[in-house]
Structure 1
């Protein structure tokens, strides 16, 4: 991949694929005009970090979040590409290609921006790489589960909440959805697979079970339905669930209207310039650098307090990239012991980071904040042990 160097390109171009390989950078005209207009107003600001902070604050504080989001999505293209390439290679049997994983990840830019906090010392690219990787892995695992499930297995696994959401997404009326939910509940109660059945490869209920399902359904609704109708409803429901949970990700350059004359990214409003005067980039960058140094000291001190064997496990895990089984063999212990000590070590380090945030930044620690801190800490551990090699 050819790395972008120019500020205009970094914030206005997007990855193009050809046969599932990087083919070049596509420039989005509106975004290019937007960033060039900003550069013309402030020609002295040429650092990448300044414009990252500018567009992130624009996204936080402006009503025109879409424009800022697209500039940041352009900025994160390399991060998304390399994370997608690394992650998809670890799923040997997946049917999804690099371009599929790229689209899955980049569709979650909002998730990255909503949880990112520049005051915690993590760079946007590094933080996005962690989020993108988690999103791809979770999506591929879930899709694999759904792909290998029969319709009847999927209907037994799905919750009523997800079922209703899936049916609503198809545009069905509330009366039709209610009828389908009643049929689904009757199916779940009366179709009980044997213990020897493969939970992912369940076959359709037999005729006797369908008659029982129809009888139970008709006792709960004034509009009777025969087994054939109920089977059709449930098969359509399974199709709706698959489509709702795992839609095909749309490209940011999808065409709109009846022709290919313009694309989604062409429908961008103009840039507002007033926010730029509220950003004191140098001051905030210095603050982040200071905080990063304090985070380094806090976590390094916490590692030093761990038991020597736990420190050794962390060293092997993050420096040599050994999995838990390999570490267990090398240290002559059980795999579950390695797993427990890794988990305990991460919890200890996360607690230290949370205490630092409370004492220094006076931030109340919430569950969402802990998720963000955990991602920051994981990135820090990789960097810390890589530097020690």
Structure 2
């Protein structure tokens, strides 16, 4: 889930896209949200900057979520085999994910020790040596000695005199029979907490020189990142298909476009422009046609609500899921998906009353007697059987973010297809 745009484009260390193509505005937003979820310090995005420093160290500043160090660790925080088992995934799955999906597992992995995190070193320990989390201030604590391979596998922590310069043959050879040398003392090598702290602080400090400045035009996204989408054309088109409350008062069953789910041999109707295809649509078909009208996609997609939800999880730079406090804007869509799903387009949000007007294709009977959180259906006296334009009294009501699924959110379409086709 991505946070409201209020904090979307604040500066973070290592946030400059010139440093890494993977650190976009959406990426930073997600990091800010993770820091909040983990209870890390919020002032000046201190906790989010801690997370950025950790990922910078683990990926050597690239933020490449497909990083494989060659000795059994992968991803943004170098997940090992034991780690991925603990969080219910595999290294192969992690490497096939988008960076945004992988961030969910970063949150989950660090979150296991969140109650013990007191400083930057503790955040890093939650990744490096989880059992040591909370002891980051114990500078003389011994973490490894040279009788463990871990000592040699982490030369970045060799901060004592000549420790990093010393080359040690550990009895291993490459495929050509040549000796493999590793850095570190031959005897009595020790990694102390202060060495780990020095290394993570070095990456933090380096990152302060690489902050993003979203006011200089360097962002891949901005508050106007969908300005090249023709939202008005899309809404105008939807208006021609929809009926209003007054229309239903006059003719209850006279829909311009009726509700129908086209599948199987009729699935092609979801993207055709024939009279038959345009005379009936389900909710996701209407939204996909709308996305094509505004220039989000070059063709009409056949996405279901599940497809749209998955797309937003994988590519929030294309379709950005907002949090539950977000106030929708004209052109956004709402979407929920559990075992079933529903979606539609936001036409207007009245901030004074917090009411929301949508256009959606819906098949639902009214129900006055059945309530959810003290509210009725929102369309008492009207059975919906097609594309309607409807004013819902509350943004947080049962039809929108208060839906019983607990999963309904607003999403913002982003990026014209001429920049990135979907």
Higher strand share: 2
Going by fraction, where is helix more abundant, 1 or 2? 1
Q: Same fold (TM over 0.5)?
A: no
Normalising by the residue count of structure 1, what TM-score does the alignment of the two structures yield? 0.29
Name the TM-score, length of structure 2 as normaliser: 0.27
